[in-house]
Amino acid sequence: MIDVTVMGGGVFGLATAWACIRRGARVRLIERRGFGTGSSGGLVGALSPHVPENWNPKKQFQLESLLMAAGFWREVESVSGVSSGYLRCGRLQAIATDRALELARARAATAAELWRGEADWQILPEAECGGWQPLSPSGYLIRDTLSARAQPRRAGASLVAAIRARGADIVTGEGEAEGRVLWATGHEGLAELSAALGATVGGGVKGQSMALRHDAGAQAPQLYVDGLHIVPHGDGTVAIGSTTEREFDSPNGTDAQLDELHERAVLACPVLHGAPVVTRWAAVRPRAKSRAPMLGEWPGRPGHFVANGGFKIGFGMAPKVAEVMADLMLEGCDAIPEGFRVEDNL
């Protein structure tokens, strides 16, 4: 007897399967192609908060998830024996102008209130940032201690190993769904849901990224410059990403847009000059119409549920998404925030 079938082996599906298993549910996990592939098989793994202002349910949800992450990944690793690459490493952001510096200082006060003392948002002169940092025209950088990183492929493998260790029925290919069914099937699932509901609730947005061979240090923070993530990982690589492409011909092909990102990263962080490229990657990420994760019951299909639309923040949101979906499917407790429901995207 199966209590919950999870369709989809990306981070939302894997994390929710794990949360259900922890509560004693019998779980079947079905992935048609390969676990941790698609948009969850990327390189960057930046787990970062939104700016601490104009607070809303999405930002609060993300804050709670980021604060849960250390315990979540520690438990997964203890069961699986596989490192997720998780580290609460913090983040450094360049400050380009005097106006941006003034705004950053105002946000430091707001962060102290909204982050409840769990993390800091600081303004530091370049000389105090340790050498691994982006160039900053103002001479100052933002340092937050809430940001973290995970290595997406390792994190996916760690979740799969933990789920297998707890005796779940894991199926690669076609499988039969039993019990309550969670659809966490990425951009293809958004297309299927849109067709079923007769309205576009989201779609796919392509992203490209790359990894360079450069050892920034085991505790090095991630860097953020003008929309570009530069994330050091524990295996001696630095990931750079990513593009945002609404129109594309090749969903998994890389091109000159990624080369441009590489050039921007080297300009922002000259220490990366000459670092060899290890991997180039591209895939299509699921983006809900509301831009928030899409969670809840599948309208008009009793016993079926949706967890989709992670887009660029899926790994950061996954611990909280998993908790909320396990609450809903196993206990009937609906704690989905405003703006996150399937209906909010119609």
- For residues 213-222, b (16+ Cβ closer than 10 Å) or e, as one string? ebebeeebbb
Q: How many domains does the chain have?
A: 2
Same domain, 180 and 140: no
- Looking at 241, 258, 287, which one is the last position of a domain? 287
State the CATH number of the domain containing residue 172.
3.50.50.60
Answer positive or negative: Cα dihedral of 157, 83, 187, 295. positive
Give the residue from 74, 63, 89, 51 showing the smallest Cα distance to 231: 89
Same domain, 209 and 331: no
pTM over 0.85: yes
Is it the case that residue 113 has pLDDT exceeding 80? yes
Same domain, 24 and 134: no
Structural tokens at position 218: 């085991």
Same domain, 101 and 236: yes
Same domain, 9 and 77: yes
- Looking at 266, 287, 308, which one is the last position of a domain? 287
Same domain, 157 and 218: no
Q: What is the pLDDT of residues 87-106, one digit of tens each?
A: 999 999 999 999 999 999 99
Q: What is the pLDDT of residues 209-248, one digit of tens each?
A: 999 999 999 999 999 999 999 999 999 999 999 999 999 9
Distance CA 239, CA 154 (A): 14
Same domain, 141 and 173: no
